Amino acid sequence: MNLVDEEGTSKPRGCRAKADKGNTRKTWTQRDEEVLVNALRTIVTTGWKCENGFHAGYLNQLEAIMCKQLPNIDIRAKPHINSKIHVWKKHYGTLMGMLGKSDFGWDDSRSMITVDSQDVWDEYCKMLLTLVVTLPTNVLVKSAKSFSWTTKEVEKRSAVFAAVGSIPGIDLNEQILISDRLVEHPKKMDLFFSLLDDARARMVGLMLSGKV
């Protein structure tokens, strides 16, 4: 049986009813992401795309399609699908930023970004590390005016970025995000460095899922 929401979107009752309204976090599987990508393609070809994005109600339409393809999935248009698309947009922005530089290219056969040399990549990573170290939030920018990081503190932040980046399966955006969080929370950073490699990877996974 289907439900029709306030925006006129039909959704399978079981999927929506199964979703816990109090659960704002979702662990996405590769299959979940594949279905969402195909759902986006479907709504584009069926007229949901407009000049500045998508018509109102498109998230509910995506939810309906996903529920049909994955009847047992625990998902809602907001926050789950909305959050995933937001993350993808950030990843896309990062990729476009890299491809906008003359030293970066794209390999269609491997679906990978290429770089002219290790030196170019190292310089790019240093630039990203600078963003992590400076932590440009309103509060920290104001604090930075009256506080200078010591060399030891900067080195520790560099070590955080490198340690997080060494964890298998972590992409660049996740590396920056987790490094930022660890630097902001010294107790978590101390715990992270006290753990063995497997435990570090588990801690990062918990942080990405919002459980830590």
Residue 106 falls inside a structural domain: no
Q: What is the pLDDT of residue 80?
A: 92
Domain that holds residue 197: 117-208
Q: Does 82 share its domain with 145?
A: no
Q: Does 146 share its domain with 77?
A: no
Q: Does 159 share its domain with 204?
A: yes
Residue 109 falls inside a structural domain: no
Q: β-strand 53-54 against 49-50: which pairing, if any?
A: antiparallel
pTM of the model: 0.51
Q: Does 148 share its domain with 188?
A: yes
Whole-angstrom distance, CA of residue 15 vs CA of residue 203: 30
Domain end position, chosen among 89, 104, 126: 89
Whole-angstrom distance, CA of residue 82 vs CA of residue 63: 10
Q: What is the pLDDT of residue 124?
A: 79
Whole-angstrom distance, CA of residue 111 vs CA of residue 140: 37
Q: Does 80 share its domain with 125?
A: no
Please report, as a single letter, which amino acid is at residue 59.
L
Residue 111 falls inside a structural domain: no
Whole-angstrom distance, CA of residue 72 vs CA of residue 74: 7
Residue 31 falls inside a structural domain: yes
Q: What is the pLDDT of residue 130?
A: 66
What ranges in the chain are assigned the alpha helix state H? Answer: 13-18, 30-45, 58-69, 82-99, 118-134, 138-144, 151-165, 172-184, 186-194, 197-208
Q: Does 139 share its domain with 188?
A: yes
φ/ψ region of 22 (left if φ > 0, alpha if ψ in -120 to 50, else beta) reads alpha
Q: Does 135 share its domain with 72?
A: no
Q: How many domains does the chain have?
A: 2
Q: Does 82 share its domain with 138?
A: no
Residue 153 falls inside a structural domain: yes
Residue 108 falls inside a structural domain: no
Domain end position, chosen among 89, 109, 128: 89
Q: Which residues contact 175 (CB under 8 A, 6 or more apart)?
A: 161, 164, 165
Q: Does 49 share its domain with 126?
A: no
Q: Which residues contact 90 (CB under 8 A, 6 or more apart)?
A: 173
Q: What is the pLDDT of residue 65?
A: 94
Whole-angstrom distance, CA of residue 53 vs CA of residue 41: 13
Domain end position, chosen among 40, 70, 89: 89
Q: What is the pLDDT of residue 135?
A: 45
Residue 101 falls inside a structural domain: no
Asked if the peptide bond before residue 12 counts as cis, ω within 30 degrees of 0, the response is: no
Q: Does 137 share its domain with 200?
A: yes
Residue 105 falls inside a structural domain: no
Q: Does 122 share its domain with 71?
A: no
Instruction: Give mean pLDDT in consecutive 10-residue pieces for the chain, a chain of 212 residues.
Output: 41 49 74 92 89 87 93 89 87 78 82 83 75 47 39 64 87 88 87 91 91 82
Q: Does 124 share its domain with 172?
A: yes
